[in-house]
Amino acid sequence: MNRSLPAAAVAPPRPVPADKILLVEDKQGLRDVLRRSLEVEGFEISACADGPQALTALQRERFLLVLTDLKLPGADGLEVLRAARRAEPTLPVILMTAFGTVQDAVSAMKEGAYDFLEKPVDPDHLLALIQRALQHRSLVRENSFLRERFAEELGFPTILGKSPALGRTLDQLQKVSATEATVLLSGESGTGKELFARAVHHLSRRRQGPFFAINCAAIPESLLENELFGHEKGAYTGAGAARRGKMEMADGGTLFLDEIGDLSPSLQGKILRVIEERCFERVGGTETRKVDLRLVAATNRDLQGLVKSGGFRQDLYFRLSVFPVVVPPLKDRREDIPLLAAHFVARFAFEQKRKTPPGLSDEALRLLTEYAWPGNVRELENALERAVILCEGEQILPAHLNLSGPSSVEAEERLSQLVGLHGTLSEVASRVVALAEREKIRQVLQETGWNKARAAELLQVSYKTLLVKLKELRIQSFES
């Protein structure tokens, strides 16, 4: 669905002392003239005499605009431009160029420069160009947030990332969305499975229809049945009027069932009937109602394991997993962390009405990319919202992130210490397997209250095999 946004009415920005411009010019005379001209207009100027100084400044500070000569010692204006774009994609860069290098400046604009000026520089023309660049930046930033909010209000998905793992998932979703196949999204908690379900809906022929989402684990069974199928008048005490459920409301559209592995056996059977026969009855009713909807389900549990242990219907599993899609955890798409982090910081800064979003220090960005992220994208989002609140300066530091868990690097170091890396590859692998088996068996025994028969059933091994493992791995009950 293509929608156009109305143009945002944004007044030209008024410079204040905190609005700092990065000025890069190797000729001191021109640098001083430009500095004085801009300071008179209320701008604060950070002046650099060569390219390397400018690159360092862009790493350490945030700027309102960059004004740079194209020809510089050490690193030219193109390198400054690229560094500025990396620091902040909306940061406007104006290039100054001598006669004869205009073609180079035009080429630079194709790389993202806002505009260029020929020397000698007219201060009035420069000021007018800066004002236009700042107004353009404000429009871009505001329209970006308007688009995001507009998308959120209409349910449009915003999936950010360029990692191979995410790319494979998106390719699968794009292929299946054009069909009517039931989709099963699997992945860890916090990976944003609902976002991917919305993507399936908005890429399908049902995009004009409704989209409803229900978290099956968050609603008690008695209420969940009512939420799904609705009820007739008088179905139970307090049911003074008939009520449609999400099944009826999603007619012509898509129904997303999150955490479907938590459904009770009774509801599993009713969902299976909807998939197979496209019909159901309301709670307390006898009239069979037809419905035309697409079902997208999600789980963070091992449904195949639940099927084998009797916790999930095999026929429903086969119906749901017509097209299984794995949503990758954040640890498998680390290339996306800087992009996601910049997105969340900009969003929360906007919500908190900060004039400019804080940057991420090199140390903070390194911590973000090395952290294990057990809570995935949701944990990253929460960490950065907290960081934006705590950060009072121009840069987010590691202390603002307050990540208490070990980073992935630290986790790998701990694993190396636990199993040791001495010996052959086969010997190291055997020690890793033994460690994993020990932890898994301990976990299941604790969940079952050290009921060995039940634990063997959940682990899908014989009772005798479990006893042998307990002896081999020296696992004992805390009670013994």
CATH at residue 345: 1.10.8.60
- Matching residue, tokens 């604060």: 44
- The verdict on 335 and 323 lying in the same domain is no
Measured in whole angstroms, how far is the alpha carbon of residue 425 from the centre of its chain?
A: 36
Lowest-pLDDT choice from 4-8, 53-57, 365-369, 463-467: 4-8
| Torsion angle in degrees (nearest 10) through CA of 34, 35, 41, 45 | 130
- The verdict on 206 and 310 lying in the same domain is yes
pLDDT, position 288: 93
Q: Is residue 2 part of a domain?
A: no
- The verdict on 255 and 393 lying in the same domain is no
pTM: 0.56
Residue 422 backbone class (left: φ over 0; alpha: ψ -120 to 50; beta: rest): beta
pLDDT, position 115: 85
- The verdict on 142 and 287 lying in the same domain is no
- The verdict on 295 and 237 lying in the same domain is yes
pLDDT tens sequence across 157-200: 567 888 888 888 888 988 898 899 999 999 888 898 998 999 89
- The verdict on 146 and 60 lying in the same domain is yes
- Measuring CA to CA, which residue among 429, 410, 411 is closest to residue 419? 429
pLDDT, position 142: 53
Q: Is residue 479 part of a domain?
A: no
CATH at residue 284: 3.40.50.300
Residue 60 near residue 15 (C-beta atoms within 8 A) = no
Sheet holding 20-24: strands in order across? 44-48, 20-24, 65-69, 93-97, 115-118
Of 97, 117, 150, the last residue of a domain is 150
Residues in the chain: 480
pLDDT tens sequence across 382-406: 999 999 999 988 899 999 998 865 5
- The verdict on 119 and 177 lying in the same domain is no
Residue 202's alpha-carbon distances to 205, 260, 272, in angstroms, are 8, 21, 24
Instruction: Give me the mean pLDDT over the 346-353 stretch.
Output: 88
Cα angle vertex 419, ends 418, 421, to 5°? Answer: 120
Q: How many structural domains compose the chain?
A: 4
- The verdict on 228 and 294 lying in the same domain is yes
Q: Is residue 14 part of a domain?
A: no
Residue 131 near residue 138 (C-beta atoms within 8 A) = no
Eight-class DSSP state of 312: S
- The verdict on 29 and 81 lying in the same domain is yes
Q: Is residue 157 part of a domain?
A: no
Q: Is residue 431 part of a domain?
A: yes
| Torsion angle in degrees (nearest 10) through CA of 423, 429, 430, 434 | 130
- The verdict on 49 and 107 lying in the same domain is yes
Sequence-ordered list of residues with C-beta below 8 angstroms from that of 135, at least 6 positions apart, any chain: 10, 12, 13
Other Cβ atoms less than 10 A from the Cβ of 262: the count is 21
pLDDT tens sequence across 241-269: 989 999 999 999 999 999 999 999 999 99
Q: Is residue 10 part of a domain?
A: no
Is 9's pLDDT higher than 70? no
Q: Position 306: which residue type? A: L
pLDDT, position 15: 34
- Domain ranges, residue 441: 420-472
CATH at residue 120: 3.40.50.2300
Q: Is residue 411 part of a domain?
A: no
Dihedral sign for Cα 234, 238, 239, 240, please: positive
Q: Is residue 88 part of a domain?
A: yes
pLDDT tens sequence across 13-22: 333 334 689 9
